[in-house]
Amino acid sequence: MSLLEKIDSPADLKRLKRSELPKLAGEIRRTIVDVVSRNGGHLASSLGAVELSIALHYVFETPADKIIWDVGHQSYAHKLLTGRRDRFPSLRQHDGLCGFTRISESEHDAFTTGHSSTSISAGLGMACGKRLKKESEKVISVIGDGSMTAGIAYEGLNQAGGLHKDENLLVILNDNDMSISPNVGALSSFLSRTLSAKYLQGFRKELGEFLKSLPRIGDDMYKFAKRSEESFKTFVTPGMLFEAFNFDYFGPINGHNLNHLIDILQNIRELSEPVLLHVTSKKGKGYAPAEKNPVYFHGVGCFEVETGVCVRKGVSVPTYTNVFGDAMVALGASDDNIIAVTAAMPEGTGLAKFAAAYPDRFFDVGIAEQHGVTFAAGMATEGFKPVVAIYSTFLQRAYDQILHDVCIESIPVIFAIDRGGIVGEDGATHHGLFDLSYLRSLPNMVVMAPKDENELYRMLVTALKHDGPIALRYPRGSAVGVPLDTSPLPLPMGKGEVLTDGDDLLILAIGSSVREALEARSALSDEGILATVINCRFVKPLDMALIGPLVERIPRVITVEENVRQGGFGSAVLEGLNDAEVTGFRLRRIGVRDTFVEHGPQKALRSQYEVDAQAIIRAAETMTDSMNDKKAASCV
């Protein structure tokens, strides 16, 4: 029996001898690599946090003590140690374990995470709550160096440092010198001073010996230098930053040395004030391909364990992300005013190629979506054309910046919103199901969604010509596979496109849902139901000049979107019809109902949450059945 098999709870872990823990770490790593190679997942970060997870559960007592794993993408070892070993093979699968931490999944998951940099705020809230309840358990926020680039992390530190000194909060900065890509900004270079700190320790020793050797004054000077050693150390390490927030700073310590980790955590456990422990670790630790290429193995699909080579199921259709990335490079060649902004996701958004081609016009702002949007607004006021590429789910963070800094003055910022719709295995925290609703309510904002990659390109061209805020949202994964027109003309603003004609039903679709609508249309025509299908292209401005008369002609209407129904595209159509005083129609909205979508394959989720072609067919059948019933009734 392996050591891991003996662990059904953190209590079992504590029964192991310290000398057994490295073996356990090896078993955990092999399990993680094995499961992720089959299910995909966040491999490199989780491998880098194995010893930290073991040490934390060896020293602390969850669920009474709280551990908040920032983002939660490094929490796989934590899951294995907290009673989820048997279910671990279901990681990220439909109805299986979530890829991040979820309060609803385990009492050991203190907080639900997925979006970064929330752990300090949540941890501080818990620590304050515990103080008021006179509970003495520890709250531990584990945050990476990339997540430390977000403003909210400093808002938490700032409040913590200004509160009572008895907030029982331990912040562990897990510093692997990487975000998804190499970490950016001043913080990153500041943290890497730790490297030179090693050198400085040697230097300090030499200096001591040198001072002692000086006749007469040497001893006194040595004592003075010793006295100020603490401030010297703080000055030359990142401690300076955290001490300024009134945190006691310890570190940097090696995050893969279990003995050191356990010793220091046991000591810190006895302190009851805000402490920051700086741990250095290696992304991908223990699995050579991931150590070598941590960017690729940050979030990876299925791969062969022996080689680390990706197993692809022979699809050659490009992703929307790739088409966007290539279009940016092509368009950037003839227009020096185009700049690209990403919030720590150059690969994920497809902007890495633009970064390589035009490094001066590429800006990675770190995990700082809010700042990224306002930064882009600033550049736009200088005459540039900023294209801000952010995943739909992360753009939620920047709502006020879009409203206040972009829309009020109608500043021409282009939002390239990737991962719009159901994203799949990342689940509830990551689906991009709200953007159509949260953007269309903003004055001056234009909102588009392409039906295929060709239209994505055209929409980007349209956006670059537009003088005001404009968004294009497109889904995760493969595009349709249509031939690309690489010099497309801009689209007429706010105009939809008639795709098919039929008098029985009107299907109004947006974005990737157009494909579902066409699939449904073809199945329905086999049943003798003929539908007019419209690719609306724009959620705002909506083409009411086209839609209004069509609804009067075909008063059975289905709207389709991969977005929540509340406030989305279907709602826009209803509002438009109401404003145009069109009456006497029936309308069904296909979209995600008032719920959060869990994780699983995109196709399965589209079916479960009823936003696929089958859902359109069912809605069409009920509508046309009742139409036939009525016809039949009037004949009687």
> Which residues contribute to the annotated binding site?
73, 114-116, 145-147, 176, 287, 369
Mapped onto helix, strand or coil, the DSSP state of residue 249 is strand
Q: At its nearest, how many Å lie between ligand DXP and the CB of residue 421?
A: 12
Q: Dmax of the chain from CA atoms?
A: 120
**The one among 85, 397, 476, 588 contacting ligand TPP by CB under 6 A:** 397
Mapped onto helix, strand or coil, the DSSP state of residue 534 is strand
Contact present, 420 and 473 (Cβ < 8 Å): yes
Bridge pairing between strands 139-144 and 66-69 = parallel
Which bin fits 434, alpha (ψ -120 to 50), beta or left (φ > 0)? alpha
CB nearer ligand TPP, residue 301 or residue 548? 301
Smallest Cα–Cα separation from 441: which of 416, 469, 465, 462? 469
Q: At its nearest, how many Å lie between Mg ion and the CB of residue 148?
A: 8
Contact region for ligand TPP (CB under 6 A) — 178-186, 468-476, 544-552, 615-623? 178-186
Query: What residue 147 binds from ligand TPP, ligand DXP, Mg ion, none (CB within 5 to 8 A, per partner kind)?
Result: ligand TPP
Residues that bind Mg ion (rule: CB under 5 A) add up to a total of 5
Bridge partners (DSSP) of residue 470 are 414, 446
Q: At its nearest, how many Å lie between ligand DXP and the CB of residue 423?
A: 6
Tokens of 324: 């966007």
CB nearer ligand TPP, residue 55 or residue 344? 344
Contact present, 120 and 147 (Cβ < 8 Å): no
Binding mask 9-48 for ligand TPP (x = CB under 6 A): ------------------------------------x--x
**The one among 24, 59, 97, 180 contacting ligand TPP by CB under 6 A:** 180
Q: At its nearest, how many Å lie between ligand DXP and the CB of residue 156?
A: 19
Interaction residues for ligand TPP, span 42-71 (CB under 6 A): 45, 48, 71
Interaction residues for Mg ion, span 144-173 (CB under 5 A): 144-146
Smallest Cα–Cα separation from 367: which of 523, 491, 184? 184
Q: Which residue is nearest to Mg ion (CB)?
A: 144
DSSP 407: I
Contact present, 455 and 325 (Cβ < 8 Å): no
Q: For the residues of 293-317, what is the DSSP string, one character each?
A: -TTTTTSB--B-TTT--B---S--S
Residues that bind ligand DXP (CB under 6 A): 42, 71, 73, 180, 298-299, 348, 419, 423, 426, 476
Q: Active-site residue numbers? A: 283, 369, 397
Q: Which residue is nearest to ligand DXP (CB)?
A: 348
Binding mask 238-277 for ligand TPP (x = CB under 6 A): ----------------------------------------
Find where tokens 């859902």 sit.
615
Query: What residue 538 binds from Mg ion, ligand TPP, ligand DXP, none (CB within 5 to 8 A, per partner kind)?
Result: none
* Euclidean distance between CA atoms 294 and 282, whole angstroms: 9
Residues that bind ligand TPP (rule: CB under 6 A) add up to a total of 24
Q: For the residues of 341-385, what is the DSSP string, one character each?
A: EESS-TTTTTTHHHHHH-GGGEEE--S-HHHHHHHHHHHHHTT-E
Tokens of 447: 């909102």
Q: Is the peptide bond before 492 cis (omega within 30 degrees of 0)?
A: no
144 binds ligand TPP (CB under 6 A): yes
Q: At its nearest, how many Å lie between ligand DXP and the CB of residue 242?
A: 25
Which bin fits 611, alpha (ψ -120 to 50), beta or left (φ > 0)? alpha
Q: At its nearest, how many Å lie between ligand DXP and the CB of residue 302?
A: 13
CB nearer ligand DXP, residue 372 or residue 412? 372
Smallest Cα–Cα separation from 510: which of 607, 409, 435, 410? 435
Contact present, 338 and 464 (Cβ < 8 Å): yes
CB nearer Mg ion, residue 190 or residue 585? 190
- Residues found in the chain: 636
**The one among 37, 112, 119, 147 contacting ligand TPP by CB under 6 A:** 147
CB nearer ligand TPP, residue 171 or residue 178? 178
Interaction residues for ligand TPP, span 524-583 (CB under 6 A): none
Contacts of 578 (CB under 8 A, 6+ apart): none
Numbered residues of the known binding site for thiamine diphosphate: 73, 114-116, 146-147, 176, 287, 369
CB nearer ligand DXP, residue 33 or residue 554? 33
Numbered residues of the known binding site for Mg(2+): 145, 176
Instruction: Note the residues at the interface with Mg ion (CB under 5 A).
Output: 144-146, 176, 178
Instruction: Note the residues at the interface with ligand TPP (CB under 6 A).
Output: 45, 48, 71, 73-74, 115-116, 144-147, 176, 178-180, 283, 298, 343-345, 367, 369, 394, 397
